Amino acid sequence: MQEKKYVFSAEAKAKKRAVVVIFSLFLLFLVVFFLGVQTGTIHLPFQRVIPALLNQGTVKESFLVFQLRMPRIIISVLVGAGLAVSGCILQSVTRNPMADPGILGINAGAGLVVLVYIAGFAKNSPSPAGMSILSWVGSIGAAFTIYLLARNGNKGLSSTRLLLTGIALNFGIQAITTIITLSLNPQEYQTYAYWMAGSLWGVTWPYVVTLLPLVTVSIIIVLSQASTLDVLPLGDSMAASLGVSVRKRQGIAILFSVILAGSCVAAGGNIGFVGLLSTHISRRLVGAVHKRLLPVTALVGGLLVLIADTIGRSMFLPSEMPTGIVVSVIGAPYFLYLLLRTAKREGS
């Protein structure tokens, strides 16, 4: 009886902590949102932000807010949330704390297909829907290749082989990408380089309309599978003993991870480390139970990309630093830290 009381008490504390964390993240988001509306080549004074948002500003202010900055802010949040949840799924399914769609080559696969399209079939950029489809094709192809190569016979996925296979595939795709870019004219190369740097190039309302339902519906479906994601990290035999069809659930989870990554890469370009950073930060904040971890991860990811985009737009005026580079400056040292910690743990 006392043990049950302790479990209920621990669960209540965890729920209370998650509510506090989510509320704090929303407050931080509001602060960054207002900074994002103000920030840019044309500075919008703080006292003019509220009137502009209420459509009571000048024509110039309304255009600046609703046509230039609001789509960019929304895309930043959607891309960050989608990549974060994608990374969270991959870490749970593969039981590898370093899994991330950017590190494993899923983003690079999407980029390769888009590059082939730009180089051979289009003078101009494809539509938002077309970009999403192209990114899906590349992401699914990369994920399927990694899955086949990382499988350890009938034992299922090997987390170590998956990480090494993904990194190797990432380098291989980048090598192919470099060869293809040599055939591009300067304008095509500039378009692709800008896209692959994670420059949030799809910052128009058509991209918002395309990305919003894809990310929202996918995250809702993944949330409905939170209990399954709690079981998968326990191992294949343990999950099977609890009545979970391991391979089927792994396949479904990876599919939605790829859909999220491909959709977000279509609008945001190749932004890495978001899933890695967001999942680790969120796990420290609310623990590993996915019904709390997934929504917090989505919020942290959206906030991370929004902060990175705001920094990139404000620190080097009148120039901009691509959002993907800002995230990489933060994420690369953390990835090396995880590698060293994992190597030390396996060596001890």
The answer to the question of residue 86 being in a domain is yes
What gap in Å lies between CA 200 and CA 257, rounded to an integer? Answer: 20
Over residues 42-68, the mean pLDDT reads 85
> What pLDDT score was predicted for residue 79?
94
What's the mean per-residue pLDDT of the chain?
83
The answer to the question of residue 3 being in a domain is no
> What pLDDT score was predicted for residue 307?
93
DSSP state of 39: -
The answer to the question of residue 251 being in a domain is yes
SS3 of 267-295: the string is HHCCCCCHHHHHHHHHHHHHCCCHHHHHH
Out of 35-49, 87-101, 121-135, 311-325, pick the least confident: 121-135
Out of 55-69, 163-177, 222-236, pick the least confident: 222-236
Cα–Cα distance list, 276 to 129, 196, 201, 252 (Å): 27, 19, 22, 20
pLDDT greater than 90 at residue 9: no
> What pLDDT score was predicted for residue 239?
59
Answer positive or negative: Cα dihedral of 182, 183, 186, 191: negative
Cα–Cα distance list, 118 to 140, 210, 253 (Å): 19, 20, 30
The whole domain housing 172 covers 16-347
> What pLDDT score was predicted for residue 331?
80
The answer to the question of residue 209 being in a domain is yes
CATH number of the domain that residue 65 is part of: 1.10.3470.10
pLDDT greater than 70 at residue 244: no
The answer to the question of residue 7 being in a domain is no
In the chain, % of residues over pLDDT 70? 87
pLDDT greater than 90 at residue 75: yes
> What pLDDT score was predicted for residue 157?
61
Q: Which residues contact 96 (CB under 8 A, 6 or more apart)?
A: 90, 159, 160, 162, 163
Please count the structural domains in the chain.
Answer: 1
What gap in Å lies between CA 84 and CA 73, rounded to an integer? Answer: 16
> What pLDDT score was predicted for residue 153?
61
φ/ψ of residue 58, rounded to 5:
-75, 170
The answer to the question of residue 343 being in a domain is yes
Cβ of 266: how many Cβ atoms within 10 Å?
30
Q: Bigger pLDDT: 342 or 166? A: 166
> What pLDDT score was predicted for residue 297?
96
What gap in Å lies between CA 189 and CA 328, rounded to an integer? Answer: 22
Q: How sure is the predictor about 186, in pLDDT bands with cuts at 50, 70 and 90?
A: confident
What gap in Å lies between CA 238 and CA 315, rounded to an integer? Answer: 50
CA-nearest of 157, 137, 133 to 146 is: 157
Out of 59-63, 164-168, 202-206, 340-344, pick the least confident: 340-344
| Prediction pTM value | 0.88
3-state secondary structure of 105: coil
The answer to the question of residue 6 being in a domain is no
Q: Which helix (H) or strand (E) holds 240?
A: helix 236-241
Q: Bigger pLDDT: 199 or 83? A: 83
**Angle, CA of 22, 73 and 77, to the nearest 5°:** 40
The answer to the question of residue 9 being in a domain is no
Cα–Cα distance list, 20 to 15, 24, 27 (Å): 9, 6, 11
